[in-house]
C-alpha cells in the first residue's frame, strides 16, 4: 500500500484540501480549479492558470505537464497565499512514483499532512510573506491536534519572514522556508524518492523488496556453488592414502637430531605466520573502523588545495564527533564498514534525512549535508542502524519528532527512548557545527 501525502491550504477560515490534480494533456486549454469535483469554478482559478503557465508562472517550467484541473474542498475567494500549497502539490505529483501518491484530503493513520501558506515569486522562487498567519494557526489548530492523536505526521510551511513576532502554539512542526529550492529539498528528504540513472525522479525500492532480491540471489549462489566440504573430505582421504607412506619414508631417512631440528624450524615458521597474520588482521580491522572525514578549506574556496582531516569514531553506543566551523567545511563524510545498511540524520530543525552512500574499497562513504542556514550554531545526530526501518516504524518516528514543542530540540535521550520501544538498538553519533560569525 502506497504512502499518501495530503496537501492543505491554510486560510483564515480553516484548512482547504487539494483533493486531486489531473493533467489535461492539452496545452491549449486553460488550467482550472474546481470545487469538490463539480463544475463550479474557484475564484482564484484565473490566477492559478497564470501560476501554471510557463510565460507567467513556474509549474510548467519546473515540473512539465500541460494544463491542469485541480479540485479543492471549498472555494478560496482571493489572495495569493494558496500558491505555496499548490507548488508543493505539483512537486509531489511530478514524481514517477509507486510507493507514495498525492492524497485526497481524507487522512488515515500513517498518512502525511502538509499544510502551507505563502506567496511564490514566480521569477526568483522566493517565498514571500502573507497576512493573517496567527488566524491561520488558530483555525487549523484543532484539526492538527486530532491528526496528531491518530499518528498522522503533520508539517506546516510558512514564509521565513513570517516567523518573527508572537504566534500561537501549534502541536506540529513549523517549517519557515525562504525559497522553492528549500521547499523541494525538505520534501525530498521526507519522501521515499531517489534519482534514477537517467535523472528522472522515481520511488525508492523498499528495504523489504531489496531484502527479498538479496535472499533469492544468495539462495541461487548456494545452489550453484560447489560443495567445498565434500571436496575437502575427498582431499583428506587422498592424503591419508598417499601421504602416510611419504611421511614414513621421510622420518625413516632422518636422524633423531635432524628430526628435532626440523620440528623446531616448523614451530618457528608456524609462530611467524601466526604473528604476521594477527598483525595483518589488526591493520585490516583498523582500516575498516568508523571514521569521520571533513574536507576543510585551505583558502576561501573549496578546491584542490582543500585539506582532508580524518578522525576515528569510537564504536560505543553514544559518541560525539569533533565540532567544526561551518565556514571552513567543504564536505562532511562518515566512513563505516559496508555492513551498516542505513543511516538517518536528525537535524536540529527536527528534519529526518536518510543519508546516501557510495561503496569505496569495501567501505560505505555516507555524505552528510552541510546546512545552508549558517548564521547560528547547528547540531545533528546520526542514527546508525543494523537493519532497515520499516515504513510503520519510520512513520512513528516522524510523528515523534513532529510532536516536539517549538523550542525543544531532538536529543539522544529522546531518540533512545523511542528506539527502545521498537526494539532497535542503533549507534548514535552527534556533532556540533559552529556558526560562521563566531
Tens digit of pLDDT at every position of the chain (438 positions): 578 899 999 999 999 999 999 999 998 899 999 999 999 999 999 999 999 999 999 999 999 999 999 999 999 988 999 999 999 999 998 875 667 889 999 998 888 999 999 999 999 999 999 999 999 999 999 999 889 888 888 999 999 888 776 788 888 888 888 999 989 888 877 766 544 434 444 444 333 323 333 333 333 333 333 333 333 333 444 334 444 444 454 545 555 666 666 666 777 677 767 555 554 444 444 445 889 999 988 777 787 778 888 888 877 788 888 888 888 888 899 999 988 988 999 988 888 888 888 999 889 999 998 887 777 888 999 999 888 887 778 888 888 887 787 678 888 888 988 888 888 889 999 999 998 665
CA-to-CA separations, 361 to 36, 107, 128, 335, 337, in angstroms, rounded: 56, 46, 47, 11, 10
- Tell me the C-alpha distance between 380 and 28, whole Å: 49
Q: CA-CA distances (angstroms) from residue 231 to 219, 224, 234, 365?
A: 20, 15, 5, 39
Three cell numbers written together for 418: 523511542
pLDDT recorded at residue 210: 32
The confidence score (pLDDT) of residue 254 equals 53
Residue 285 buriedness (CB in 10 A; 0-12 / 13-18 / 19+): exposed
Cβ-based neighbours of 338, under 8 Å, separated by 6 or more: 359, 362, 363, 364
Round to whole Å and give the CA distance between 344 and 369.
12
Task: Mention every residue, 6+ apart, whose C-beta is less than 8 A from residue 249.
Answer: none
Q: What is the structure's pLDDT at 437? A: 61
The helices-and-strands tally (H runs, E runs) of the chain is: 10, 23
Euclidean distance between the first and the last CA atom of the chain, given in angstroms as a whole number = 48
What is the reported pLDDT for 98?
A: 62
pLDDT at 224: 36
**Distance (Å, whole) CA 313 – CA 429:** 9
The radius of gyration computed from the CA coordinates of the chain, to the nearest angstrom, equals 30
Cβ atoms of 384 and 338 within 8 Å: the answer is no
- Asked if residue 201 lies in contact with residue 193, where contact means CB atoms within 8 angstroms, the answer is yes
Consecutive H or E run containing 83:
helix 83-93
Q: What is the pLDDT of residue 162?
A: 86
Cβ neighbours of residue 170 closer than 8 Å, sequence gap 6 or more: 137, 140, 141, 144, 156, 406
pLDDT for 199 equals: 40
Select from 115, 157, 171, 192 the least CA-distant residue to 353: 192
Q: Judge contact between 3 and 190, C-beta under 8 A.
A: no
CB contact at 8 A, 326 and 369: no
Measured in whole angstroms, how far is the alpha carbon of residue 384 from the centre of its chain?
12
Amino acid at each position: 500500500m502506497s504512502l499518501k501525502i495530503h496537501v492543505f491550504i491554510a486560510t483564515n477560515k480553516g484548512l482547504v484540501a487539494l483533493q486531486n490534480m489531473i493533467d489535461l494533456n492539452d496545452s491549449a486549454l486553460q488550467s482550472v480549479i474546481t470545487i469538490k469535483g463539480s463544475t463550479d469554478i474557484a475564484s482564484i482559478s484565473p490566477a492559478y492558470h497564470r501560476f501554471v503557465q510557463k510565460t507567467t508562472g513556474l509549474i510548467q517550467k519546473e515540473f512539465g505537464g500541460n494544463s491542469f484541473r485541480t479540485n479543492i474542498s471549498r472555494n478560496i475567494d482571493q489572495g495569493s497565499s494558496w500558491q505555496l500549497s499548490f507548488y508543493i502539490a505539483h512537486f509531489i505529483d511530478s514524481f514517477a512514483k509507486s510507493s507514495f501518491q498525492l492524497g485526497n484530503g481524507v487522512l488515515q493513520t500513517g498518512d502525511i499532512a502538509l499544510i502551507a501558506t505563502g506567496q511564490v515569486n514566480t521569477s526568483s522562487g522566493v517565498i514571500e510573506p502573507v497576512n493573517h498567519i496567527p488566524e491561520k494557526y488558530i483555525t487549523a489548530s484543532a484539526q492538527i491536534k486530532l491528526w496528531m492523536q491518530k499518528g498522522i505526521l503533520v508539517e506546516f510551511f510558512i514564509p521565513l519572514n513570517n516567523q518573527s513576532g508572537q504566534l500561537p502554539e501549534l502541536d506540529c512542526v513549523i517549517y519557515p522556508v525562504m525559497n522553492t529550492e528549500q521547499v523541494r529539498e525538505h520534501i525530498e528528504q521526507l519522501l521515499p524518492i531517489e534519482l534514477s540513472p537517467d535523472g528522472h525522479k522515481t520511488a525508492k525500492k523498499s528495504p523489504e523488496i531489496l531484502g527479498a532480491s538479496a535472499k533469492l540471489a544468495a539462495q541461487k549462489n548456494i545452489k550453484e556453488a560447489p560443495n567445498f566440504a565434500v571436496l575437502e573430505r575427498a582431499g583428506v582421504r587422498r592424503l591419508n592414502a598417499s601421504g602416510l607412506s611419504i611421511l614414513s619414508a621421510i622420518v625413516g631417512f632422518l636422524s633423531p637430531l635432524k628430526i628435532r631440528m626440523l620440528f623446531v624450524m616448523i614451530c618457528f615458521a608456524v609462530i611467524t605466520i601466526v604473528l604476521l597474520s594477527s598483525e595483518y588482521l589488526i591493520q585490516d580491522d583498523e582500516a575498516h573502523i568508523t571514521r569521520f572525514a571533513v574536507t576543510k578549506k585551505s583558502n576561501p574556496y573549496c578546491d584542490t588545495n582543500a585539506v582532508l582531516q580524518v578522525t576515528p569514531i569510537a564504536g560505543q553506543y553514544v559518541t560525539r564527533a569533533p565540532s567544526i566551523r561551518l565556514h571552513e567545511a567543504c564536505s562532511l563524510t562518515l566512513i563505516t564498514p559496508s555492513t551498516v545498511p542505513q543511516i538517518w540524520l536528525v537535524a536540529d530543525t527536527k528534519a529526518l534525512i536518510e543519508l546516501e552512500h557510495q561503496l569505496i574499497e569495501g567501505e560505505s562513504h555516507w555524505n552528510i549535508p552541510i546546512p545552508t542556514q549558517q548564521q547560528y550554531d547547528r547540531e545533528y545526530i546520526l542514527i546508525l542502524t543494523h537493519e532497515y526501518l520499516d515504513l510503520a516504524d519510520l512513520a512513528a518516528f516522524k510523528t515523534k519528532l513532529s510532536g516536539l514543542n517549538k523550542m525543544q530540540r531532538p536529543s539522544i535521550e529522546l531518540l533512545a527512548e523511542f528506539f527502545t520501544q521498537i526494539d532497535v538498538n542503533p549507534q548514535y553519533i552527534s556533532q556540533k557545527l559552529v556558526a560562521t560569525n563566531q
